[in-house]
A = this chain, B = another copy of it.
């Protein structure tokens, strides 16, 4: 779990104070990986504390993060600096947070990023790394994974060294998120809860976190009691608790199938989850019904027919990626999941989307 968390509106201003004691020496910079939507946004960028050789790298989150992208970032940082950095600070959504986690791991572990996709393959402690979400829902700020698309699969680097050493939860940073993005990413959290709470891996630890996040999601997306600031704060906490819920259990059908979409079509995680979940009534009847209510209430129109023109070969690739995520299916459907989830079944589901 993340050992240090600062929470509060405006707490981003404490960043300088948080980082100062962690500077190893003046040749070991802090590297800030920042979502490039903030390029030229002085409200945020001017408050990033830069000293000595510290550096901001702006990165587009238009595509899902890739293992090759991590390798390039790490190479650039090593070439650019005499010493290993004092810390890596990710500022952005799930993509930036996952990149920050992966870069901090790969700065101290040899070889290529793709070799670490899986469970507990990381040998050395990562560089000190800090996560600062600017959009809520993914749970990347609290998870022990960093989900990356590699040459052969979309899979996380799951390890004890992956979680952030420090997280700053400042809901003010989420104030300019576009509405569609807000909904899709918020639904990532909602879907975490539904998949965790309806999974066979559920335990009391995960259940209490999942219950709490689910009730916050309903309050935010179905009721009209909250002002904007309250809704932003509560969604930030929902993301946190939803993430905690799956740390000790697992996600399910929507995530397994959405990884297939991402791998083949590059569909972003949040919207991909929504496209898939919309067709999962038979697995999560109540969860999908509430999802549809939320979608309607916020006038969200999902893309349709995104798989309609795919060849059988392409569908097979998606199906392979989805089927490879064994723990997700086991959590969703139990040990005998293969009897329910056949290639034919997955194909028919994908073709509906």
What is the interface of chain A, defined by CB distance below 8 A to chain B? Answer: 1-5, 7-8, 160, 169, 171, 203-205, 208-209, 211-212, 216, 230, 233-234, 236-238, 241, 248
Cβ distance A343 to chain B, nearest Cβ, rounded Å: 35
Q: Are B204 and A237 in contact (CB under 8 A)?
A: yes
**Chain B residue at minimal CB-CB distance from A229:** B204
A sample of 10 cross-chain residue pairs with beta-carbon separation below 8 angstroms, ordered by A number, consists of A1-B4, A7-B205, A7-B248, A204-B234, A204-B236, A208-B212, A208-B234, A208-B237, A211-B212, A212-B212
Is B205 in contact with A169, judged by CB distance below 8 angstroms? yes
Task: Known pairs A7-B205, A7-B248, A204-B230; list 5 more (Cβ under 8 Å).
Answer: A1-B5, A7-B204, A203-B233, A204-B233, A208-B238
Give the residues in chain B near A204, CB-CB below 8 Å: 7, 171, 230, 233-234, 236-237
A169 to chain B: which residues have CB within 8 Å? 205
**Closest chain B residue to A171, Cβ basis:** B204
Cα(A221)–Cα(B168), bound, Å = 36
Expressed in whole angstroms, the Cα–Cα distance for A230 and B208 within the complex equals 12
> Distance (Å) between the CB of A100 and the closest chain B CB?
18
Q: Which residue of B lies closest to A4 (CB)?
A: B1
Contact B1 A241 (CB under 8 A): no
Given B7, B203, B212, which contacts A7 in the complex, CB threshold below 8 Å? B203
Tell me, rounded to whole Å, the shortest Cβ–Cβ distance linking A120 to chain B: 13
Q: Give CA–CA (A147, B7) in the complex, Å.
A: 25
CA distance A203 to B11 in the complex (A): 13
Instruction: Note all chain B residues with C-beta closer than 8 A to A248.
Output: 7
Residues of the B chain whose Cβ atoms lie less than 8 Å from the Cβ of A209:
212
The answer for the CA separation of A102 and B317 in the assembled complex, in Å, is: 56
Separation of A54 and B248 alpha carbons in the complex (Å): 31
A1 and chain B: residue at smallest CB distance: B3
Provide the bound-state CA to CA distance between A273 and B208, in Å: 25
* A5 / chain B contacts, CB cutoff of 8 Å: 1, 205
* Complex interface: chain B residues within 8 A of A203 (CB): 7-8, 233
* Cβ-defined partner of A1 (8 Å) among B2, B237, B238: B2
CB distance from A98 to the nearest CB of B (A): 20
Set of chain B residues within 8 Å of A233, measured between Cβ atoms? 203-204
Q: Which of A2, A5, A208, A238 has the most CB of B within 10 A?
A: A208
Which B residue's beta carbon lies closest to that of A208? Answer: B237
Quick check: B241 and A208 within 8 Å, CB to CB? yes
Chain B min CB distance to A351 (Å): 40
Q: What chain B residues lie within 8 Å of A238 (beta carbons)? A: 208
Complex Cα spacing A212 to B211, Å: 8
Chain B residues in 8 Å Cβ range of A160: 4
The answer on a CB contact under 8 Å between B205 and A237 is yes
Which residue of chain B lies nearest to A230 when distances are taken between CB atoms in the complex? B204
* Interchain CA distance A205-B169 in the complex, whole Å: 9
**How far is it, in angstroms, between the C-alpha of A160 and the C-alpha of B6 when the chains are bound?**
13
Residues of B within 8 A of A230 (CB): 204
Q: Is the CB of A216 within 8 A of B208?
A: yes
- Among A2, A3, A169, A211, the one with the most B-chain Cβ atoms within 10 Å of its Cβ is A3
Give every chain B residue within 8 A of A4 (Cβ-Cβ).
1, 160
Write the chain B residue with the least CB distance to A234.
B204
Q: Which residues of B contact A241 (CB under 8 A)?
A: 208
